[in-house]
Each structure stands twice: as C-alpha cells, then as structure tokens.
Amino acid sequence: MQRLSTGWIGALTGISLAMLAVAQSGAEAAVTRSEYCSRLGLQLDGAIQTKAKPGASAGEIAEATALQDKANRFCAERKQAQGIRTYANALKLLGVTPVDLNQ
C-alpha cells in the first residue's frame, strides 16, 4: 500500500514540475505594456531621425514629435494603452509599421 502512494506522489510531483516549467516559459515570452512603450519609443526615435533627412515633410516630423511627447507622458503616467496607441499613430504618420508584440 505504501509503494502505491509513493508512486502517486512521485507522479504528481513530476506533473506539477512540468506544468510549472510550461507556465514560466509562457510568462517570459509575454511583453508588458511598459516594455512595449519603450520598444515603440525607440522605434519612433529611429523613424524620426531617418525622416529628418532632406526630402521629408517638416510638418509630419513636427506632428510625430508632438505625438511622441504625448505618448511619453501617457506611458510615464501609467496610461500605457493610450501611450501605445499614440506611438502607433505617430509611426503610421511617418509611414512606419509599429513593432509586433510577439517579436
């Protein structure tokens, strides 16, 4: 009888460890909104620098910079969803596709 219960405890422990490993790997893959704000901010910085070269519309760059300031405030005030949308709008204004969360 004792062998049977020891076997079950070992099996349950193994299953629990396997489930824990899967849960942790999924958690590491998720990107937080704060991280996404940072990624989009860096992408927008690069896009503005690229577009600032001759031939780019000064009005678009000015508007994108204003949206960037607004997005920075949103992200700093823990309004990341609004900040992410604002960054995405600024990037689209410059003709750049925002980075994907899953990359």
Taking only the tens place, the pLDDT of each residue in 2-21 is: 554 555 454 444 454 455 55
Question: 55 falls in which pLDDT band (50, 70, 90)?
Answer: low
Distance CA 60, CA 49 (A): 12
Contact between 101 and 31 (Cβ < 8 Å): yes
pLDDT at residue 52 is higher than 80: no
pLDDT at residue 84 is higher than 50: yes
Distance CA 15, CA 31 (A): 27
Contact between 90 and 98 (Cβ < 8 Å): no
Tell the burial category of 45 from Cβ atoms under 10 Å away from its Cβ (0-12, 13-18, 19+).
exposed
Q: Higher model confidence: residue 25 or residue 31?
A: 31
Q: Higher model confidence: residue 63 or residue 6?
A: 63
Tens digits of per-residue pLDDT, 35-44? 999 999 999 9
DSSP 35: H
